Chain A
Amino acid sequence: MRKQIFGLVSLGLLIAGCHTDMWKQPKTEPLDESASLFADGAASRPLVPGSIARGHLRLDDGYFTGIENGKFVDQIPLKLVDSAGKRKTLLLRGQERYNIYCSPCHGQVGDGKGMIAQRGFSLKRPVGNYHTDRLRNMPVGHFYDVITNGYGAMYSYASRVEPQDRWAIVAYIRALQLSQHASPADADQADLSKAQAQNETNGRLAQK
């Protein structure tokens, strides 16, 4: 009898030990639903308007909006480009970010012939081509502003591209513009001989 009671009690304890409250804890993860806490049912909250996260005060208008005193900034902020190393890092970062967020529409060389632009857009005005006189002469602040606030049919990319990355993309757009608008005079001798060698190889390959 005693043994049976002991058995039953331990069985009861074992069954009582079955919980799922470790699997589903009273906490929310990013983008979880939270029906009880907030009226809109979303656990992730938008920023309270006017609030500024510690370390995110944006006093430098030129840096954070691309516009200073009502005019587009004409130069990429100096603190991003004041050494050769920084310039290279910025350009490479810009290339990477450009290829993720911009190339689907603007194309890998910035001619406005990206995959999405070719596959479905029927815009009143075509996707921006950076290699026009208008955009070549546009101050850098314009490009920064377009990434931040959108332009025409283009949506804002501010939530996906951080300010420093926006400047990196702007720098890369400038590099793209140069790449498609260079004259032979811009190339130094090393470039020229390299290009010539390349041409010869291509010629040989074509003959084969």
Chain B
Amino acid sequence: MAQIFRPSANSIAHASLLGVAIVPLVLGLAIAALSRSPWNTKVDVPLNQPVPFSHQHHAVELGLDCRYCHKDVEKSSFAGLPATETCMSCHSQIWTNSPLLEPIRQSMETNTPIKWTKVNKVPQFVFFNHSIHVNRGLNCNTCHGAINNMHITAKGNSFQMAWCLQCHRAPERYLYKDKAPEAQGRAPRQQVFDLYKKLQEGGMKSLDEREKQLMSGHFDGTNDPADILAGKKLINEYGVKTQQLADCWTCHR
């Protein structure tokens, strides 16, 4: 009787044994990598909008305060999107013939809201409140990335739970106060917006290391012991309940 298995079957058997161990591992890693990649998280992927609104132009070049349009950001969970009327408070006079602004004029005329594409969202089982973060002096860029450089708005961070927890487990690495003498006496809430003014007036060179990181969208918490100590002081000052900050119900309620 002829042999069913040729000698090479041995190596195939060995290889498939190895495969049983490696394939699930590689597959798992691939899924993990994919779920963290911009393909899934949409980080840094500019989304199409009805009007190509540039934050860089409006907030930095022109120096409009964030709150001029996002009027509820310091007092509500939802930052608020500008009503068409807000756009028209300047664009009834400026670029009145621009075809790019046609949707705004249409919206005003027909009294229908503009349908912006939502860039930043969390699942509906997550409770997020803008005002509490702004009132603890967390700059918009901490979460939204380098808004000041964005021509078309893109997501700045993954907004996955692990990312939220980086700060909720160690807020002292993120809490921040401007050390400049002229900034003393400014509420944390005001310092958030002062930073953009500082950038507009003095450019990047007027900012300290950490502020530069923030404004270029690469701030992942500080590791400087002195800054961490200062952050701990702020935790006390603001009464942040760190022992509850990473509890499930803080965000899932």
Q: Give the residue of B68, B89, B93, B125 whose beta carbon is less than 8 angstroms from that of A120.
A: B93
Contact B78 A25 (CB under 8 A): no
- 145-170 of chain A: CB within 8 A of chain B: 153-157, 159-160
Within 8 Å of chain B (Cβ to Cβ): is A104? yes
The minimal Cβ–Cβ distance linking A72 to chain B, given in whole angstroms, is: 23
Nearest CB to that of A40 among chain B residues?
Answer: B112
| Contact A22/B124 with A104-B68, A121-B93 known, Cβ cut-off 8 Å | yes
Contact B124 A116 (CB under 8 A): no
Determine the interface band of chain A, counting residues with CB < 8 A from chain B.
20 to 34
Nearest CB to that of B200 among chain A residues?
Answer: A115
Please report the C-alpha to C-alpha distance between residue A123 and residue B65 in the assembled complex, in whole angstroms. Answer: 23
Residues of A within 8 A of B93 (CB): 120-123, 153
Within 8 Å of chain A (Cβ to Cβ): is B238? no
The minimal Cβ–Cβ distance linking A148 to chain B, given in whole angstroms, is: 14
- A-B contacts counted at CB < 8 A amount to 64
Within 8 Å of chain B (Cβ to Cβ): is A175? no
The minimal Cβ–Cβ distance linking B97 to chain A, given in whole angstroms, is: 12
Which stretch (B12-20, B79-87, B173-181) binds chain A?
A: B79-87
Contact A104 B63 (CB under 8 A): yes
Contact B85 A155 (CB under 8 A): yes
Contact B190 A22 (CB under 8 A): no
Interface string of A21-37 (1 = CB under 8 A from B): 01111010111010000
Which stretch (A49-57, A76-84, A95-103, A183-191) binds chain B?
A: A95-103
Contact B124 A31 (CB under 8 A): no
Residues of A within 8 A of B80 (CB): 30
Contact A160 B71 (CB under 8 A): yes
| Contact A29/B68 with A104-B62, A120-B93, A159-B83 known, Cβ cut-off 8 Å | no
Number of interface residues of B (CB under 8 A): 28
Contact B190 A115 (CB under 8 A): no
Contact B65 A99 (CB under 8 A): yes
Residues of B within 8 A of A160 (CB): 68, 71, 86
| Contact A116/B125 with A121-B94, A159-B85 known, Cβ cut-off 8 Å | no
Q: Give the residue of A23, A100, A119, A122 whose beta carbon is less than 8 angstroms from that of B67.
A: A100
- 76-130 of chain A: CB within 8 A of chain B: 96, 99-101, 104, 115-116, 119-123
Contact A155 B92 (CB under 8 A): yes
Contact A33 B115 (CB under 8 A): yes
- 44-87 of chain B: CB within 8 A of chain A: 62-65, 67-68, 71, 78, 80-81, 83, 85-86
- 82-104 of chain B: CB within 8 A of chain A: 83, 85-86, 88-90, 92-95
Please report the C-alpha to C-alpha distance between residue A122 and residue B115 in the assembled complex, in whole angstroms. Answer: 30
Within 8 Å of chain B (Cβ to Cβ): is A42? yes
Residues of B within 8 A of A29 (CB): 78, 124
Please report the C-alpha to C-alpha distance between residue A101 and residue B90 in the assembled complex, in whole angstroms. Answer: 12
Residues of A within 8 A of B113 (CB): 31, 42
A-B pairs, 4 with minimum CB distance: A120-B94, A155-B89, A100-B65, A25-B124
A–B Cβ pairs within 8 angstroms, 15 of them: A22-B123, A22-B124, A31-B81, A96-B190, A100-B193, A101-B65, A101-B68, A116-B90, A116-B94, A122-B93, A155-B92, A156-B85, A157-B89, A160-B68, A160-B71
Residues of A near any B CB (own CB < 8 A): 22-25, 27, 29-31, 33, 40, 42, 96, 99-101, 104, 115-116, 119-123, 153-157, 159-160
